[in-house]
Amino acid sequence: MAKQILLTGGAGYIGSNTALELLNAGYEVVIVDNFCNSDEKLDERLAGIPVYKADVTKYGELAEVFGKYDFHAVIHFAALKAVGVSVREPLEYYANNVGGLLTTLRLMQAHGVNRIVYSSSATVYDPAGPLPYTETSPVGNANSPYGQTKVICEQIIRDYTASNPGFTAHLLRYFNPIKGAVKEKPRGVPNNLYPYIQQVHEGLREKLTVNGNDYPTRDGTCVRDYIDCTKIAQSHIAPLEAETPGLYIKNIGTGNGTTVLELIRQYEQENNCVIPYEIGPRRAGDIPECYCAG
């Protein structure tokens, strides 16, 4: 019988791409989402997957789903992720992201589900730490409440894993996802660079504003580690099969740093188009460079 995998937040961008990869690999996928940042209508390639509208912070709602299946693992994507909003609404971010993880872990404990794959982020690394980031680089001093929720959630999982010898936890620290078989469909004005470029290409926005070109980088714009979301999706499969219980931490990036201007050029070449842009001021909270050792 196929292994049943619960994807919380599975209707979102990375969750949908992962669902597709898991189906291709022969897993049975179940999705829970409250659709606060996704459409109830999933990508057509995901038709047939059971999808439950439930809030992972609400024990009763999530308990109903746990009661119906015998999950081999949970992949916990569900979270709010807008860095800027988290600065204005920190309580909502802590309640949703930390509360949602706690409820999920409590239900896993109650049902004897002993494996979690957690969507962590490059944002957990101390921005003052040396580059490239490796899994042993210093963590903390996140520059937003959103980032801090990821630091706290990692610690909760670390503590729970230490208390439960049969438990397996994989913390996947994603760098900057782009592309993917299922495209990101952000609501409103995109916060992130890649979907903004896509919307300029599609004619939904007139031009891109590059947030500063006076950083100490090769062309003055910020450097990030952009990774294809299909690769991110595939990175969830090995953790579902790891045999030895314990805590595993992995960076999910390419090891290559790309500037904003380089990403625009790459997009233009790949799509045979021109992306109009202007140079604007720096964006508060941005660090000049962020990439992993690969």
CB of 77 to ligand NAD, least distance (A): 4
Among 3, 58, 106, 283, binds ligand WQD (CB under 6 A): 283
- Interacting stretch for ligand WQD, rule CB under 6 A, among 17-25, 68-76, 163-171, 209-217? 209-217
Q: Which does 193 bind (CB under 5 to 8 A by kind): ligand WQD, ligand NAD, none?
A: ligand WQD
Per DSSP, what are the bridge partners of residue 171? 118, 249
Site for ligand WQD in 160-179 (CB under 6 A): 176
- At how many degrees (to 10) do helices 99-110 and 59-66 cross? 40
Among 7, 107, 208, 232, binds ligand WQD (CB under 6 A): 208
146 is a catalytic site residue = yes
C-alpha–C-alpha distance, residues 225 and 236, integer Å: 19
Residue 147 near ligand NAD by CB under 6 A: no
- The answer to whether the beta carbons of residues 144 and 87 sit under 8 Å apart is yes
Per DSSP, what are the bridge partners of residue 252? 174
Nearer to ligand NAD, 245 or 256 (CB): 256
Site for ligand WQD in 29-88 (CB under 6 A): 81, 83
Q: Minimal CB distance to ligand NAD: which residue?
A: 12
CB of 176 to ligand NAD, least distance (A): 6
Omega before 132 cis (within 30°)?
A: yes
**Vertex 67: Cα angle to 64 and 71 (nearest 5):** 115
Quick one: which of 172, 132, 169, 187 has its CA closest to 11?
187
- Interacting stretch for ligand NAD, rule CB under 6 A, among 19-27, 73-81, 212-220, 240-248? 73-81
DSSP H helical ranges for the chain: 13-24, 59-66, 83-88, 90-93, 99-110, 145-163, 193-201, 229-234, 237-241, 260-271
- Interacting stretch for ligand NAD, rule CB under 6 A, among 169-177, 207-215, 233-241, 266-274? 169-177
C-alpha–C-alpha distance, residues 129 and 126, integer Å: 5
- The answer to whether the beta carbons of residues 184 and 178 sit under 8 Å apart is no
Binding footprint of ligand NAD on the chain (CB under 6 A): 9, 11-15, 33-38, 55-57, 77-81, 96, 100, 119, 121, 174, 176-177
Please give the residue ranges that form the binding site for ligand WQD (CB under 6 A).
81, 83, 121, 123, 147, 176, 191-193, 196, 208-211, 222, 224, 260, 283, 286, 290
Active-site residue list: 146
